[in-house]
């Protein structure tokens, strides 16, 4: 850590595409997020549903998938509220998650939404005070 860094509790909420990006090495930015998580004790949270989906065990419709992931993320966020905790939700599915009602629900729980691992990395670095 550099001398400008500070201790901030951060939860990184992700979904199926994060697992796939890591598994198939499709995103260096996701690898960088894992590095930041290890180095700065950032907790990475992935709904159980996403693991099952990544394994290909679920043949549900897209809407049911989104509903399950959205519900899991929101429930987790509600149950883990803390004054000094920052929650970030990273998803590649802008088409599926970029809706005003989802943004409003997440904002009401103080969860920041990111569609780019790069933007998420920048925000984490900002919160940690590192360059």
**Tens-digit pLDDT string for the chain (131 aa):** 455 566 779 999 999 889 888 887 778 999 999 999 999 999 999 998 888 877 774 444 456 666 777 888 889 999 999 888 999 999 988 887 888 988 999 999 999 999 999 999 999 999 999 97
User: Do the domain assignments include residue 105?
Assistant: yes
User: Do the domain assignments include residue 22?
Assistant: yes
- Which strands make up the sheet holding 85-90, listed edge to edge? 43-45, 9-13, 85-90, 111-114
CATH number of domain containing 91: 3.40.50
> What does the pLDDT read at residue 63?
60
User: Do the domain assignments include residue 58?
Assistant: yes
> What does the pLDDT read at residue 1?
47
User: Do the domain assignments include residue 98?
Assistant: yes
User: Do the domain assignments include residue 1?
Assistant: no
The DSSP secondary structure of 42-109, one letter per residue, reads PEEE--HHHHHHHTT-----HHHHHHHHHHHHHHHHHHT--TTEEEEEE-S-HHHH--HHHHHHHHHT
Residue pair 101/108 in contact by the 8 Å Cβ criterion: no
User: Do the domain assignments include residue 2?
Assistant: no
User: Do the domain assignments include residue 4?
Assistant: no
Which domain, by its residues, includes 46?
A: 9-128
How many structural domains does the chain have?
1
Stated pTM of the model: 0.65
> What does the pLDDT read at residue 5?
60
């Amino acid at each position: 850590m550099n001398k400008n860094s500070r201790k901030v509790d951060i939860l990184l909420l992700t979904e199926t595409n994060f697992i796939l990006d890591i598994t198939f090495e499709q995103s260096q930015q996701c690898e960088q997020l894992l590095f930041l998580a290890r180095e700065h004790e950032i907790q990475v949270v992935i709904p159980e549903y996403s693991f099952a989906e990544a394994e290909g065990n679920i043949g549900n419709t897209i809407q049911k998938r989104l509903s399950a992931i959205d519900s899991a993320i929101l429930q987790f966020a509600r149950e883990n509220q803390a004054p000094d905790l920052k929650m970030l939700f990273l998803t590649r599915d802008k088409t599926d998650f970029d809706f005003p009602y989802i943004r409003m629900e997440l904002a009401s729980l103080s969860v920041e939404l990111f569609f780019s691992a790069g933007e998420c990395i920048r925000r984490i670095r900002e919160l940690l005070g590192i360059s």
